[in-house]
Amino acid sequence: MQLTQRNIDILKIIVDEYLATGDVLGSKLLLKKYDLWVSSATVRNDMAKLEKLELVYQPYNSAGRLPTSKWLRAFVNYLMSSTPEHFLQEKNISDQNDFIKLSDYIHSISLDLAKNTKEIAFFAVPNRHILEYSWIPKFLEKNHAIIGDDIFNIITMLEDKFNFMSFVENFPLQDWINIFIWEENFTPFLKDYSIILKKVIVDGEVWYIWILWGLKMNYSFNISAVRWII
């Protein structure tokens, strides 16, 4: 089943609306906001076609559509090959063996990444038992109603630094950028969130830097930010 240009346009609108607002988008609202020069019935047929292809889904009867993880995965893969370079701030550390300087450097990187992306930013150097993260209060403030009791699991996970770093270290990763969405995420209680993670080799030592936030994150900017910050 091939997609027409209108199918693609509608799919892009559904994804753009979801990433911007998180709202379910129905045919009437779509036509109200976007001039496609077709009827509501035609848009509903297009949405049904996209649903058959598992690119969108209907969360409940008589609702509009939301993008599926299959489509978000395709969207993210496209961005991986097309995102521009976003250098947040160039930093250099003169002595990697100076623990204090390295800790300060890691703190500044995670803080810069968090401030610029508005996501939780992590930086880990397992070999030196260093784990830095920023933006946790903002994350919990915004998401506590959605997370519910899993908020305690997240706090427990962050407090247990050694097990957390060991878990990340043993997770199958590419040596460049890794993106996990929905059910791909590390743990069940992060299934409604996305993780963009980068594995870096510095003087033979493995470093990890990543961000965690909701599915509506700015993928284009955030992928570039994680990719190019170090």
Tokens of 168: 């990340």
Identify the band that residue 97 occupies on the pLDDT scale cut at 50, 70 and 90.
low
Question: Of 36-45, 80-89, 143-152, 184-193, where does mean pLDDT reach its minimum?
Answer: 80-89
What is the CA 103 to chain-centroid distance, rounded?
Answer: 25
- Report the predicted TM-score, pTM, of the whole model to 2 decimal places: 0.68
Residue 96's pLDDT is what?
A: 56
d(CA 215, CA 21): 11
Query: Any residues with CB less than 8 A from the CB of 44 and at least 6 apart, and which?
Result: 27
Given this model, what pLDDT does residue 121 score? 92
CA dist 216 → 3, 6, 42, 150 (Å): 25, 24, 27, 20
Q: Residue 135 and residue 4: Cα distance in Å, rounded?
A: 42
Long-range contacts formed by 141-145: CB under 8 A, 24+ apart: 143/214
> Is pLDDT of 86 > 60?
no
Tens digits of residue pLDDT in 101-117:
888 888 888 998 998 88
Confidence grade of residue 46 (pLDDT, cut at 50, 70, 90): confident
Q: What is the mean pLDDT of the chain?
A: 78
Domains and CATH numbers, the chain: 5-67 (1.10.10.10), 83-228 (3.30.450.40)
Please determine, for residue 161, whether its predicted confidence score (pLDDT) is greater than 60.
Answer: yes
